[in-house]
Amino acid sequence: MLRFRALTAAAALAGVVLTAAPAIGAPAPTTGADEPSIAAALSAPAGRAPAAPPALLRAYERDLGLSPQAAGARLAHEARATQVREALARTLHGSWAGAWLEGRDATLVVATTDASAARAVTAHGGRASLVRHTLAVLDGAKQALDRASDASSPGATPLWYVDVRANTVVVQSTDDARTETFLRQSGVDRALVRVERATAAPRPLADLRGGDAYYIDNAARCSIGFPVTQGGQPGFVSAGHCGQPGSNATDASGYSIGTFQGSTFPGNDYSWVAAGADWTAQPQVDDYAGGVVTVAGSAEQSVGGSVCRSGSTTGWHCGTVQELDATVNYAEGSVYGLTRTTVCAEPGDSGGSFISGNQAQGVTSGGSGDCSSGGETYFQPVNPILSVYGLTLATG
């Protein structure tokens, strides 16, 4: 999708259950661990954190099968584990090999190349894994692959990462011979790498959704009207004054969406942008309240009927249809066939979705006033846009 939301939360912290376990991995020399610091890290009191929001607990129940109570306990447990992990990383420094959570109860396992440090961790109630390579060594190997990737695209190796649990660098491959060539060219120590067969080729997962922001030639922002397709190619309709044919459209991170294929303004105020194959035309309009409205069609609303608008500046606002087929005379020229509404809007909302129930109505053109004092907004009906450019509205 185009707009990214980050949801962060932690539950009230509780003690981490760190069970002792036999050390595993290759033998490592004993260097004399800082046992008092290890003991302090494992026994430090948990801090306090706000309770997890209900939406996060519901997501844990849906996706991880945890009750709200169990999800809250796990979040607190993980927060405590993070605190312990960070303290041990500082303490073990040169022998630190990473850490991970294991099992349904999220037990923290600490990896180290120092046998005495591993014994100290287990002696003070923790769980340790004795391994051959430090995290710094593995990170260095991965960075060598990253540098080699910058020099020449590794087409047969879609993914690599440090696997702290296996104490190795994993390289996924679709062609073993080409991958081995890439590894040789990278100069990485082959003993640090495990090659695995790739099961899929990763690509960015991005949704086109009505009301979300997009940027034009890195100079202006508008809002998506409605996702569409043309001969199977995804894209979206928006306002004509947002961009000219050939203008580039990107998301908030600067990732390319595509280019304007058609645009008319004044006279009309509509455009369409053809997106790359890594975008999906979703039949959705962002309601700016954490949800979406699914678009089912494009039946025109009557005068006096209710209508809502979604846009990247002011979000979601509603009102009624005042007139159809209005001529609006902007400073740039006249635009014909617009629908006048009592809905407010502000700059940046241009191009965004007008929808009535689940029926697409049009794309935001212009207006007067704002969403603080009130105003009126005009939209370009969507059906003529679909007809002119031979587009199919994404519906669900």
The reply to whether 385 and 315 lie within a common domain is yes
Asked if residue 235 has pLDDT above 90, the reply is: yes
The reply to whether 242 and 386 lie within a common domain is yes
2 lies in a domain? no
Please tell me which residue, 176 or 248, carries the higher pLDDT value: 248
108 lies in a domain? yes
**DSSP codes of every residue in 2-38:** -S-------PPP-----------SS--------HHHH
Residue 88's domain is classified under what CATH number? 3.30.300.50
Residue 281, number of CB atoms within 10 A of its CB: 23
Marked catalytic residue, from 77, 133, 241, 317: 241
Query: For this structure, is 269 an active site residue?
Result: yes
Separation between Cα atoms, residue 392 and residue 395, nearest integer Å: 9
Separation between Cα atoms, residue 349 and residue 309, nearest integer Å: 9
146 lies in a domain? yes
Marked catalytic residue, from 271, 310, 312, 350: 350
Query: For this structure, is 256 an active site residue?
Result: no
Percent of the chain with pLDDT over 70: 88
Asked if residue 27 has pLDDT above 70, the reply is: no
The reply to whether 76 and 153 lie within a common domain is no
The reply to whether 258 and 328 lie within a common domain is yes
The H or E element containing residue 368 is: strand 359-370
- Annotate 133-163 with three-state secondary structure: CCHHHHHHHHHHHHHHHHHCCCCCCCEEEEE
130, 159, 175 - which closes a domain: 130
> How many residues are given for the chain?
396
Asked if residue 167 has pLDDT above 50, the reply is: yes
Residue 214's domain is classified under what CATH number? 2.40.10.10
Q: Quote the Cα angle for 79-83-87, to 5°.
A: 165
Please tell me which residue, 149 or 175, carries the higher pLDDT value: 175
The H or E element containing residue 337 is: strand 333-341
Of residues 347, 392, 395, the one with CA closest to residue 237: 392
Question: What does the pLDDT average to over 196-224?
Answer: 86
130, 153, 183 - which closes a domain: 130
158 lies in a domain? yes
Asked if residue 25 has pLDDT above 60, the reply is: no
With left for phi above 0 and alpha for psi between -120 and 50, is residue 386 left, alpha or beta? alpha
Separation between Cα atoms, residue 288 and residue 20, nearest integer Å: 48
Q: Which domain holds residue 112?
A: 35-130
95, 113, 130 - which closes a domain: 130
Separation between Cα atoms, residue 257 and residue 207, nearest integer Å: 10
Query: For this structure, is 350 an active site residue?
Result: yes
The reply to whether 242 and 161 lie within a common domain is no
DSSP code for 182: H
Residue 82: partners with Cβ closer than 8 Å, 6 or more residues away: none
pTM for this one?
Answer: 0.57
Marked catalytic residue, from 114, 212, 251, 269: 269
Separation between Cα atoms, residue 99 and residue 20, nearest integer Å: 15
pLDDT tens digit sequence for 346-385: 999 999 999 999 999 999 999 999 999 988 999 999 999 9
pLDDT tens digit sequence for 282-331: 999 999 998 999 999 999 999 888 999 999 999 999 999 999 999 898 88
pLDDT of residue 14: 26
Residue 308: both structure tokens together = 């809502």
Asked if residue 205 has pLDDT above 60, the reply is: no
5 lies in a domain? no
The pLDDT-based confidence of 2 (bands split at 50, 70, 90) is: very low
Most confident of 156-160, 203-207, 240-244, 303-307: 240-244
The reply to whether 358 and 227 lie within a common domain is yes
Separation between Cα atoms, residue 393 and residue 396, nearest integer Å: 10
The reply to whether 123 and 246 lie within a common domain is no
The reply to whether 259 and 374 lie within a common domain is yes
The reply to whether 106 and 152 lie within a common domain is no
Residue 372, number of CB atoms within 10 A of its CB: 9
Average predicted confidence (pLDDT) for the chain: 86
Q: Quote the Cα angle for 11-16-19, to 5°.
A: 155
26 lies in a domain? no
The reply to whether 75 and 182 lie within a common domain is no
**Positive or negative torsion for Cα 310, 311, 314, 319:** negative
With left for phi above 0 and alpha for psi between -120 and 50, is residue 88 left, alpha or beta? alpha
CB 382 within 8 A of CB 301: no
Question: What does the pLDDT average to over 212-240?
Answer: 96
78 lies in a domain? yes
pLDDT tens digit sequence for 72-107: 888 888 888 888 999 999 999 999 999 999 887 788
Q: Compute the CA torsion angle 247, 382, 320, 332 (nearest 10 deg).
A: 40
The reply to whether 307 and 181 lie within a common domain is no
The reply to whether 44 and 125 lie within a common domain is yes
pLDDT of residue 59: 76
The pLDDT-based confidence of 3 (bands split at 50, 70, 90) is: very low
Q: Quote the Cα angle for 33-34-38, to 5°.
A: 105
Instruction: Count how many domains the chain has.
Output: 3
pLDDT tens digit sequence for 102-139: 887 788 999 999 999 999 999 988 899 999 999 999 99
Residue 271: partners with Cβ closer than 8 Å, 6 or more residues away: 237, 238, 239, 240, 242, 243, 260, 262, 263, 264, 265, 351
Calculate the alpha carbon distances from 363 to 231, 240, 340, 341 in Å: 22, 10, 12, 12
